[in-house]
């Protein structure tokens, strides 16, 4: 990838290229396409939020209707990379001080043909019409509209306790094996499906926020917390006769993360959720979601020490060593160890690592949090016991581990693994500083996978297999299958399981992308979502981990756009 070229050089080069040459040059990069598809999947919920148009006399004229259309396109396709305020995130800044100098014709070329550094060729690919390319070239020269702030008053206005704690069951009122329930995101309907892992039957379809990003469990395993991209948090009581919502709140306008207090003596006491917009997190009561404390994350970046106005809260986990939440702030590259033992006198340890912190998971001891600084192509290791950075490892292009995968390598001992959005490598990082100090926080091996576009990698302590998906790969043969490795014979390469084919879905043009391997509690089954469009058939495929053969397929008209699914026991106990 020719990532060292500046925006200006790229624009000049593209403007000078013949149409066919520049189109091929901009469009032949599968890796950036996967990232763009990921960042822009479904668009930002902020596209529907009312914002004020600030008319800049230096900018090209735009009617209010044109401005609103441009804003909608921007938040659907561009904000994930360039930021809400266009200050730049994983993509370049697109603020008026830059765009006005470039001019409309210059920007039209850039938007139309894309760039070798990763900008998609929105025009020549057919994603945007000629009129829309012109519209967006004019839109990015306008003053960026700022979404409204969202504080305690706004949160309390959305907070609902549907079933108060005193009216909830005092014991489990159903016969379900709760520890083997799967919480499955039905992305485009704003729901989660609770599926019985034993019988493979749907227990309930629960209304939630839009495009639920993750499901997390309380320390006791009784309550399930989910957060939608629209920042709505739902709390589901698994003890009810039919598990359902007991509380809900909206903590912002866009979000991705939620978790609960896990440290001894604080089990189920607090919940915490982080927002993309506004850039902040909120600590809530664990039994009602009543908001208690809102904390902003705007501040200086870890590298250039420059102020960033919208550092998004990415992943959050709860420490097992202290009463702390581990809060990762994307654009500033900082991990915040937030002590919740006294939230009125909140103490925070700030740990700097690398910018663009995203997702991650614990090592096998649950002491070290391994978090991907995705656009920096690094994995940071945070010591939750000592409260400091202990490792920063260079890996492949755009690591995206989900929570990663822990296993014992035959040669290097305990390792944690991540796949990548941007290349076909699987990075193995040593995680045992006590018995394997030379390997600790080092890239000890790289496996070759089917390709880029990977979102999740998974194994289990009782399994000898390692599964890697590639749902955003451009080749349907790859995106509709999964690679599986024998942990004890990694040099043998991978075997491909045709999950999409096994789903037996109709040939209706659905994407059938295979996403997120997830084990059952026993560790002898692996579940995969086969994800198609809202108007196409989807399914969940269950594979026998011992034989790598199809075990069953779960189909139901209510399983609309299933994506992530989270086993209660494994999520509660950080088994991955």
Determine which one of 62, 119, 155, 235 is catalytic.
Answer: 119
Determine which one of 11, 62, 78, 337 is catalytic.
Answer: 78
Let me know if 235 is a catalytic residue.
Answer: no
Residue-wise burial string across 545-564, b where 16 or more C-beta atoms lie within 10 A, e elsewhere = beeeebbebbebeebbbbbb
Let me know if 81 is a catalytic residue.
Answer: yes
Let me know if 119 is a catalytic residue.
Answer: yes
Let me know if 82 is a catalytic residue.
Answer: yes
Determine which one of 11, 136, 240, 358 is catalytic.
Answer: 358
Determine which one of 62, 136, 337, 400 is catalytic.
Answer: 400
Residue 532: φ, ψ to 5°:
-120, -175
DSSP of 256-305: EEEEE--STT-TTTEEEEEEEETTEEEEEETTT--EEEEEE--EE-TTT-
If one counts every other C-beta atom within 10 angstroms of the C-beta of residue 370, the result is 26
Let me know if 436 is a catalytic residue.
Answer: no
Judge whether 330 and 356 are in contact, CB under 8 Å. Answer: yes
If one counts every other C-beta atom within 10 angstroms of the C-beta of residue 522, the result is 14
Determine which one of 11, 62, 81, 240 is catalytic.
Answer: 81
CA distance linking residue 394 with residue 435, whole number of Å: 22
Q: Where are the beta strands (DSSP E) in 286-403?
A: 291-296, 299-300, 307-308, 313-318, 324-329, 334-339, 347-352, 357-362, 368-373, 378-383, 388-394
Judge whether 241 and 269 are in contact, CB under 8 Å. Answer: no
Let me know if 565 is a catalytic residue.
Answer: no
Residue 227: φ, ψ to 5°:
-130, 130
Determine which one of 11, 62, 82, 465 is catalytic.
Answer: 82
Q: Which has the closest alpha carbon to 384: 302, 440, 315, 320? A: 320
DSSP of 77-118: HTHHHH-TTSS-SSS----HHHHHHH-HHHHHHHHHH--TTS
Q: What residues are annotated to the active site?
A: 78, 81-82, 119, 358, 400
């Amino acid at each position: 990838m020719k990532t060292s070229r500046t925006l200006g050089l790229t624009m000049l080069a593209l403007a000078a290229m013949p149409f066919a040459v520049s189109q091929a040059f901009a469009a032949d990069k599968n890796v950036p396409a996967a990232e763009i598809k990921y960042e822009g999947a479904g668009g930002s919920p902020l596209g529907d939020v009312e914002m004020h148009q600030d008319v800049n006399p230096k900018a090209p004229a735009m009617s209010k209707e044109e401005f609103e259309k441009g804003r909608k396109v921007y938040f659907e396709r561009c904000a994930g990379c360039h930021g809400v305020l266009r200050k730049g995130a994983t993509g370049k800044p697109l603020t008026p001080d830059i765009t006005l100098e470039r001019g409309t014709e210059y920007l039209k070329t850039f938007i139309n043909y894309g760039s070798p550094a990763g900008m998609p060729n929105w025009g020549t690919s057919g994603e945007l019409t000629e009129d829309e390319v012109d519209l967006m070239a004019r839109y990015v020269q306008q003053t960026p509209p700022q979404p409204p702030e969202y504080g305690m008053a706004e949160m309390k206005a959305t907070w609902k306790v549907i079933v108060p704690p005193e009216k909830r069951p005092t014991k489990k009122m159903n016969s379900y094996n709760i520890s083997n329930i799967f919480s499955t995101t039905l992305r485009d309907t704003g729901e989660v499906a609770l599926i019985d892992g034993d019988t493979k039957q749907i227990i309930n379809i629960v209304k939630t926020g839009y495009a639920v990003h993750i499901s997390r469990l309380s320390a006791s395993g009784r309550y399930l917390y989910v957060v939608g991209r629209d920042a709505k948090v739902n709390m589901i009581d698994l003890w009810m006769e039919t598990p359902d919502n007991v509380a809900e709140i909206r903590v912002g306008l866009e979000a991705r993360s939620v978790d609960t207090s896990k440290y001894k003596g604080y089990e189920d006491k607090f919940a915490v959720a982080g927002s993309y917009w506004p850039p902040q997190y909120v600590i809530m009561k664990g039994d009602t979601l009543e908001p208690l404390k809102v904390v902003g994350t705007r501040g200086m970046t870890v590298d250039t020490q420059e102020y960033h106005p919208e550092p998004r809260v990415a992943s959050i986990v709860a420490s097992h060593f202290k009463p702390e939440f581990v809060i990762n702030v994307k654009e500033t590259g900082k991990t915040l160890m937030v002590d919740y033992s006294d939230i009125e006198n909140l103490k925070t340890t700030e740990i700097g690592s690398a910018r663009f912190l995203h997702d991650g998971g614990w090592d096998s001891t649950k002491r070290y949090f391994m978090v991907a600084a995705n656009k920096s192509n690094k994995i940071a290791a945070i010591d939750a016991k000592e409260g400091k950075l202990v490792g920063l490892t260079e890996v492949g292009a755009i690591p995206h581990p989900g929570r990663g995968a822990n296993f014992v390598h035959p040669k290097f001992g305990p390792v944690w693994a991540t796949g990548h959005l941007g290349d076909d490598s699987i990075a193995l990082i040593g995680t045992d500083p006590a018995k394997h100090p030379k390997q600790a926080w080092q890239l000890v091996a790289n496996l070759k996978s089917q390709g880029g576009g990977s979102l999740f990698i998974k194994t289990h302590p009782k399994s000898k297999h390692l599964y890697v998906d590639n749902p955003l790969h451009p080749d349907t043969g790859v995106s509709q299958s999964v690679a599986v490795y024998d942990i004890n014979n990694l040099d043998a390469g991978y075997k491909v399981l045709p999950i999409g084919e096994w789903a037996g879905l109709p040939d209706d043009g659905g994407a059938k992308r295979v996403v997120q391997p997830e084990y059952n509690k026993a560790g002898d089954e692996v579940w995969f979502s086969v994800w198609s469009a809202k108007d196409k058939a989807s399914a969940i495929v269950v594979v026998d981990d011992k034989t790598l053969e199809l075990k069953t397929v779960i189909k139901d008209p209510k399983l609309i756009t299933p994506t992530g699914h989270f086993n209660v026991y494994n999520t509660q106990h950080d088994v991955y």
